[in-house]
Structure 1
């Protein structure tokens, strides 16, 4: 797998390169500032890009904006965004339009090597990878909404779905049967007013799109 990295922190950047090459992946290019990102991605057209949200020169979202621009020039380019903190606006913008092949992880997640590599491979394959803390923040910020009607177990399932977990993995993590998980997922979609779907990342993106839409409406009311 060919991976382009955009990260201004030298220690993290070199750590990512070492981690990826040690795992058998290729890193054909790295960017250390926002203006370098789009030309680098267009030149190498990698299988997936790892982008820091805030990059020089202004540290105001250059990485994400460059990623969005690159996806316009290279449709379907998988992007995994790294951020120091949970930034809801950036997460919503990245997930806008029901795009596939996207991820948003906190930088601390890189230290959990197996989880990080799994998330990267999932994004490269067209799936979704959302940091559990990002998902929890999105869920916590919703008010007067259908989530209040979910049972505690259904909320657990929803969160794991949003992280990109499949039914078998969710069942294993919650120590229940896949049939039970399918039932919980059906209940979640019904209560959220979303049509059931068996299509991996599409069902995740549908849930996230619903969360994002409500968040945008709440912001407009404020």
Structure 2
């Protein structure tokens, strides 16, 4: 199996490469950021990708967003996310993309045996799905709590809406443009399942969801 590894911590990246080669796999490339991951997959067309979530330059969700972009490519590689974090905003979307090629999401500190990791990658490469139970628990909590779907910035914007702030005031508070505020608010409405036909009341309904949360 040909694998591309994306991990910003160089010791872990090289350790993963050595481990996979020891089990008979070929590491076509090992890279340290999301852009390099996308480029490596385009160049090498691997069978599987192992990627972290948080990578340069912002260390937020670059790796996971790159994985989603790769899942939309043709052919889509199998993807195994290996991270310390459950990035809920995109994790569910990634796991729901597992119909054509395998997908998995494992937490680094919950892997107790190297064979467990290699077996998980083999199952993902064979079009299977492997998900850490803790990832499942966090995603289920997210579905029960609509506010958990929001990014930290969207939660911040919603909090300011709850204070009665207009878009211009929110923009000044966060030192962003009003267009950026409007984009965040549109995201809030979408993630809280507030339909456009309730446009006159969506800010109120969003605030109610915030207060209930």
Q: Same fold (TM over 0.5)?
A: yes
Q: Which residue pairs with 1:103 in the alignment?
A: 104
Query: In the aligned structure 1, how far is the partner of 2:82 from the partner of 2:142?
Result: 21
- The gaps in structure 1 that reach 5 residues or longer are 145-216
Report the Cα offset of residue 113 of structure 1.
Answer: 1.0
Query: In the aligned structure 2, how far is the partner of 1:106 from the partner of 1:90?
Result: 15
Q: Deviations over 1:105-154 (max 9, x none)?
A: 1122455212111110111011101012111223345549xxxxxxxxxx
Alignment of 1:196-211 (within 5 A): none
Q: Which residue pairs with 2:86 in the alignment?
A: 86
Q: Which residue pairs with 2:37 in the alignment?
A: 37
Report the Cα offset of residue 24 of structure 1.
Answer: 1.0
How many residues were matched structurally? 151
The root-mean-square deviation of aligned C-alpha atoms, in Å, is 2.4
Q: Which residue pairs with 1:7 in the alignment?
A: 7
Moved over 3 A (4+): 96-100, 139-144, 217-222
Query: In the aligned structure 2, how far is the partner of 1:111 from the partner of 1:66?
Result: 27
Query: In the aligned structure 1, how far is the partner of 2:94 from the partner of 2:111?
Result: 19
Q: Deviations over 1:70-117 (max 9, x none)?
A: 222233310011221222223112123453411111122455212111
Q: Which residue pairs with 1:58 in the alignment?
A: 58
User: Computing the radius of gyration over CA atoms, which structure comes out larger, 1 or 2?
Assistant: 2
TM-score (norm 2): 0.63
Report the Cα offset of residue 58 of structure 1.
Answer: 1.3
Alpha carbons 1:42, 1:74 under 8 Å: kept = no
Aligned equivalent of 1:220, options 179, 188, 193: 193
